[in-house]
Amino acid sequence: MSDTTTPTPGNHAAGGQSDSATSGALAPVLEVDGATKTYAGEPPVEALRGVSLTIGEGELVGIVGPSGSGKTTLLQLMGTLDRPTRGQVRVTGVDVAAMADDDLSYLRATRIGFIFQQFFLAEHDRVVENVADGLLYAGVPLKQRRQRAVEALNLVGLAERAEARPTQLSGGQRQRVAIARALVGQPAIVLADEPTGNLDQATGQSILALIDQLHQAGSTIVVITHDHTIAERMPRKVEILDGQIVADTGPAGPADQRLRRNVDAYPSGLRPLEGLPASEDRP
Amino acid sequence: MTAAAGRRTLQLADMARLSSVGLRSRKLRAGLSALGIAIGVAAIVAVLGLSASSQAGLLSEINQLGTNLLTVTNGQSLTGGTVELPTTAAAMIGRINGVQQVQTTGTVSTAHAYRNPYLNLAATNGLAVQAATLDLLPVVATTVAQGQYLNAVTAQEPVAVLGAVAAQRLGIDRIWPGERIWTGRQWLYVVGILKPAVLAPAIDSSVLVGYPAAQKYLGFDGHPSTIYLRTRTNKVNTVDTLLAATANPENPNAVNVSQPSSALVAQADAKSALDGLFLGLGAVALLVGAVGVANIMIISVLERRSEIGLRRALGATRRHIRTQFLSEAVLLGLLGGTAGVALGAASTTIYAQSKHWATVIPTEAWTGGLAASLIIGAAAGLIPALRAARLAPTQALWSL
Ligand SMILES: Nc1ncnc2c1ncn2[C@@H]1O[C@H](COP(=O)(O)OP(=O)(O)OP(=O)(O)O)[C@@H](O)[C@H]1O
Ligand SMILES: [Mg+2]
């Protein structure tokens, strides 16, 4: 896979950034700098008021807060789906404000994967086609998209349902398909908005375990939740209230270094995660 | 980044799949919304096809009858009176190079034909009686339907042969022994009925008698009033220019020369007024179809906000979204257009075959139909596609 000409956006992070990884200071992937977001209306809603947050390479961050606190708004800014009213958002060091709409689209196509509470799968396409659509706008040829979609499905343990329709899957399976779609392009960043919100407790746990495994394989992941127990499990927890960050445990320390060993392997190709340390092993 | 972004034009296979998302997920709705365009295109293709087929049928019939028939008729003088053709006119014309056959009829102005003498003759329009030469039928491309035509013997006797229309008007559809008609001064025995003479309608509505009999029994003056002649096919035009002067050297301006087949061709070319009506109805159906497609596309964009938002999140540009919805509308239009062309062609074929015409679907009809449906689809899809592309990703995804 690494010898293809298609963009493999994650790979710049691996070898080149290994210095910062070993030194403990993770290279910033997502930087939000004094961001404000005001929605026009009567009265205008200040969804974010001066949020600053830096997320480093390979981090798994849980953002938690009550309903209406601005979590989704923050995720939209980080995912370049929207622009801040004031302040700055940088993705892999590039200022979003300086980019045209088309370039932001390209950034999303190649560097950012989204996971949504409602999955958003195309019911009339097969599972493998849904996953392959994650690469559609990155300019990857059809054959390669399919091949990588099967690999991504393998990663989430759904390879045997590749030809099924989303309607034939359970909720948990659908979210796995959506996760595979977010991962198929090996994005540098995965943003998940309430990924377990539509799932029962046990299924939600399995999805979180999957996210954990992806994190251990080197992805930078932001998970939004209103459930503190879920956020508690994340290496880093950011609490948001009324559009402001009220608590941040900060980047995980040396405990996370152990996981960095896997970073080098990840961008060169997706592979099953069975061989990786299980999430229970982690402190 | 801009250079990389520019490369992301979707492949045709992907475009095809994306533009058929709406059609595949809502087949019935797509079919119904394409119906208006299908009906409009079908109407237009059928009207143009039928008119072309009937024209082709008529032209082939005319060709079978021959286009080398010319007629010379007596004309009017400047003062309004009829200028008789000289009795020698036929013989003179026969000497023109290229003329193959010459036959004549002469209107017997002193007689009209009636079913019987008991009618109020003054109030009834009698049929024209014409003296006719003996080899007239092959020249005007008709034959005897019943009985016999005139021959050297019967041309001397008070007998008549009826043109197809004349027979009908007289109510005679079969030759009975002793069947006769009244001319006001003389009974004529009916010996034959002709088939229609498409090239010579004047013969159809006439009662024909021999020249000698006309002179002997009906007071005919012996002047031919119409000369029918066949020329070699490559001489039609040359002969045509010589006819007037040859037929009546003293008064060539009082002679009418015509080519009956060309009149029929002109008639075949003439578009029926009904064609215009049906074309108009087809255009209205197309317009309604366009509104239908636009309507469905607008609903579709509203319903598929989350799909649009998702695609934007997956990296689709506004142009990707616009193209997807625009091509979906074009596909809908083309779907209707193709169905319409098929329907129009099928109905043309069925009708043309029942009439024994060759089926002709003019190229402009079906290409025009397809082009119209394509343009209509694009026009109908433009605003919905622009709307879809304008949708902010956040608005599309989180507004559910
Ligand atoms: N498009 C919008 N227009 C106007 N106001 C908005 C819009 N989107 C969000 N808001 C407002 O901004 C505030 C923050 O919304 P946001 O969706 O970020 O909250 P959240 O933390 O994700 O909540 P939840 O847990 O319910 O999803 C809310 O008061 C909301 O009503
Ligand atoms: Mg939210």
Residue-wise pLDDT tens digits, B11-28: 888 999 999 988 888 899
Residue A74 Cα to ligand 2 middle (Å): 9
Structure tokens belonging to residue B378: 């694009």
What are the pLDDT digits (tens) for B305-359? 999 999 999 999 999 999 999 999 999 999 999 999 999 999 999 999 998 899 9
Q: What is the pLDDT of residues B274-291, one digit of tens each?
A: 788 888 988 998 999 999
pLDDT digits (tens, 9 = 90+) for B34-64: 999 999 999 999 999 998 898 888 888 888 8
What's the whole-number mean pLDDT along residues B117-129?
Answer: 76
In terms of DSSP bridges, do strands B127-132 and B206-210 run parallel, antiparallel, or are they unpaired? parallel
Q: Which residues pair with B237 in a beta bridge?
A: none
Q: For ligand 1, atom 12, name the residue with the nearest CA.
A: A47
B127, B166 contact by CB (below 8 A): yes
- Answer whether B130's CB lies under 8 Å from B249's CB: no
B314–A123: do the CB atoms touch at under 8 Å? no
Task: Establish whether residue A65 lines the binding site of ligand 1, counting it when its CB lies within 6 angstroms of any ligand atom.
Answer: yes
Read off the pLDDT band of B400 (50, 70, 90). low
Q: Do B312 and A124 count as a contact with CB atoms less than 8 A apart? A: no
What pLDDT is attached to residue A7? 42
Name chain A contacts of B321, Cβ cutoff 8 Å: none
Q: Which two tokens stand for residue A160?
A: 């045997």
- CB A41 less than 6 A from any atom of ligand 1: yes
Phi, psi of A46, rounded to the nearest 5 degrees: -90, 90
Nearest CA in chain A to B320: A137
Interface test with A, best of B9, B23, B310 (most A CBs within 10 A): B310
Work out the angle between the directed axes of helices B273-303 and B305-313 (0-180°, nearest 10).
60
Under DSSP, is residue B272 helix (H, G, I), strand (E, B) or coil? coil
Query: Contact, B225 vs B199, CB < 8 A?
Result: no
Query: What is A28-248's CATH topology?
Result: Rossmann fold (3.40.50)
- pLDDT for res B65: 83
Report the percentage of chain B scoring pLDDT > 90.
Answer: 64
- The span from the CA of B338 to the CA of B325, in Å, is 20
**Ligand 2 center to residue A71 CA distance, Å?**
6
Residue A92: left (phi > 0), alpha (psi -120 to 50), or beta? left
**Pair B160, B210: CB distance under 8 Å:** no
Full DSSP string of chain A: -TTSSS--GGGGGTTTTHHHHHHS-PPEEEEEEEEEEEE-SSSPEEEEEEEEEEEETT-EEEEE--TTSSHHHHHHHHTTSS--SEEEEEETTEEGGGS-HHHHHHHHHHHEEEEETT----TTS-HHHHHHGGGGGGT--HHHHHHHHHHHHHHTT-GGGTTS-GGGS-HHHHHHHHHHHHHTT--SEEEEESTTTTS-HHHHHHHHHHHHHHHHTT-EEEEEES-HHHHHHSSEEEEEETTEEEEE--S--GGGHHHHTTTTTGGG----STTSPPGGG--
What is the mean predicted confidence (pLDDT) over B378-396?
Answer: 93
Asked if residue A136 has its Cβ within 6 Å of ligand 1, the reply is no
CA of A209 from ligand 2 middle (Å) equals: 22
Instruction: Please indicate whether residue A91, judged by its CB atom, sits closer than 6 Å to ligand 1.
Output: no
Q: Taking 90 as the threshold, does the pLDDT of residue B105 lie above it? A: yes
Confidence (pLDDT) at A276:
37
A138–chain B Cβ distance below 8 A for any pair: yes
B257 contact partners, CB below 8 Å, separation of at least 6? B70, B71, B72, B240, B243, B244
Nearest to residue B91, comparing CAs of B99, B83, B81, B79?
A: B99
pLDDT at residue B304 greater than cutoff 50: yes
Centroid of ligand 2 to alpha carbon of A146 (angstroms): 32
pLDDT tens string, chain A, 283 residues long: the values are: 334 444 444 444 333 333 433 445 678 999 999 999 999 989 999 999 999 999 999 999 999 999 999 999 999 999 999 999 999 999 999 999 999 999 999 999 999 999 999 999 999 899 999 999 999 999 899 999 999 999 999 989 999 999 999 999 999 999 999 999 999 998 989 999 999 988 888 889 989 999 998 898 888 999 999 999 999 989 999 999 999 999 999 887 544 444 444 444 344 344 434 433 333 333 3
A9 lines ligand 1 (CB under 6 A): no
Q: Which atom of ligand 1 is nearest to the CA of A75?
A: 18
CB contact under 8 A, A81 and B7: no
Please, which residues have CB within 8 angstroms of residue A10's CB and are 6 or more apart in sequence?
A186, A187, A188, A218, A219, A266, A267
Q: Please state, in angstroms and rounded to a whole number, the distance separating the CA atoms of residues B164 and B145.
A: 8
pLDDT over 70, % of chain B: 96
Contact B47, B272 (CB under 8 A): no
**Nearest-5° angle of CA B25, CA B27, CA B29?**
105
Q: If you take atom 5 of ligand 1, which residue's CA is the nearest one?
A: A39
As a whole number of angstroms, the distance between CA A161 and CA B321 comes to 29
Say whether A133 and B314 touch across the interface (CB within 8 A).
Answer: yes
B168 or A12, which is more confident: B168
Helix axes B273-303, B318-354, angle to 10 degrees: 150
In angstroms, what is the span from residue B397 Cα to ligand 2's centroid?
11
Residue B11 near chain A (CB below 8 Å) = yes
* Residue partners of A143: CB distance under 8 A and separation at least 6: none
pTM above 0.80, yes or no: no
d(CA B307, CA B313): 10
DSSP bridge pairs for B147: B192
Rounded to the nearest integer, the mean pLDDT of chain B is 90
Rounded to two decimals, the ipTM of the complex is: 0.82
- Residue B313 and residue A81: Cβ atoms within 8 Å? yes
* Residues of B with Cβ-Cβ distance to A94 under 8 angstroms: 1
pLDDT greater than 90 at residue B161: yes
